[in-house]
Amino acid sequence: MGNIRACIFDLDGVIVDTAVYHYQAWKRLANGMGFDFTEHQNEQLKGVSRMASLELILGWGNVTGKTEDEKLQLATQKNEWYNEMINQMTPAEILPGAREFVQSCRDAGIKTAIGSASKNTPTILNKLELSALFDVVVDGNSVTKPKPDPEVFAKGAAALNVPPAQCVVFEDAIAGIQAAVAGGMRAIGIGSPETLTEADLVVSGLDKMSLEQLNRL
């Protein structure tokens, strides 16, 4: 199977679309502090860690002077609301073609991993009944440096015991593509070629991916 031995998948925006739940929870938090939070702003939080997202939102609302403790409380409150929603998720919310493509990789002997910024990755994989499809899960609980730092994908490759040059990363965020490239891996963008300009290939979703395309990279 070509020289690709491992596929590392971002979670949000690649396997499942949790952006709508993040949006609702952040909006509730922002509204509670007296300002609005738009879908356009939510777009800018894709792939961004929870605390970094909060900092951006406080900035947009011109909120200053919050202590670290207060920021932690706000992030915890948002996460509680977010968890109420993701705990209701079912496998019906897996994005089109995602399960099938990951399974076809495994059938071809290609190793599979998740590389996500989300600390809620285990809950989401569990709710989607996808945990068994991945050999390794690296998420926000085990990384210290956010994308575009390559740490999350480098850890995935190391845990799979596959050299970066033989790994492909699937990502929907610009910072995620940059993280893959910085880690010496090939990158497939999920989204639009106009946005994900540094990717080796861009497709609209995993339903448009095939093993033949992996071979041609």
Tell me which residues touch Mg ion (CB under 5 A): 10, 12-13, 47, 172-173
Can you list the alpha helix ranges (DSSP code H) found in 5-120? Answer: 19-32, 39-43, 50-60, 68-86, 98-107
Nearer to ligand B16, 105 or 174 (CB): 174
User: Does 191 sit near ligand B16 (CB under 6 A)?
Assistant: no
- In the residue annotation, 12 being an active-site residue is answered as yes
- The least distance separating ligand B16 from the CB of residue 31, rounded to whole angstroms, comes to 18
DSSP 8-state secondary structure symbol assigned to residue 6:
E
The residues, any chain, with a CB within 8 Å of residue 88's CB and separated by 6 or more, are none
CB 214 within 8 A of CB 186: no
Among 118, 181, 202, 206, binds ligand B16 (CB under 6 A): 118
Q: In the window 75-94, what residues touch ligand B16 (CB under 6 A)? A: 79
Which residue stretch of 49-57, 61-69, 183-191, 206-214 sits at the interface with ligand B16 (rule: CB under 6 A)? 49-57
For residue 96, what are the CA distances in angstroms to 16, 147, 182, 202, 205? 9, 25, 29, 16, 7
- In the residue annotation, 36 being an active-site residue is answered as no
Residue with the closest Cβ to Mg ion?
13
CB 196 within 8 A of CB 183: no
Structure tokens at 26: 């952040």
User: Does 12 sit near ligand B16 (CB under 6 A)?
Assistant: yes
Among 97, 122, 140, 184, binds ligand B16 (CB under 6 A): 140
User: Does 41 sit near ligand B16 (CB under 6 A)?
Assistant: no
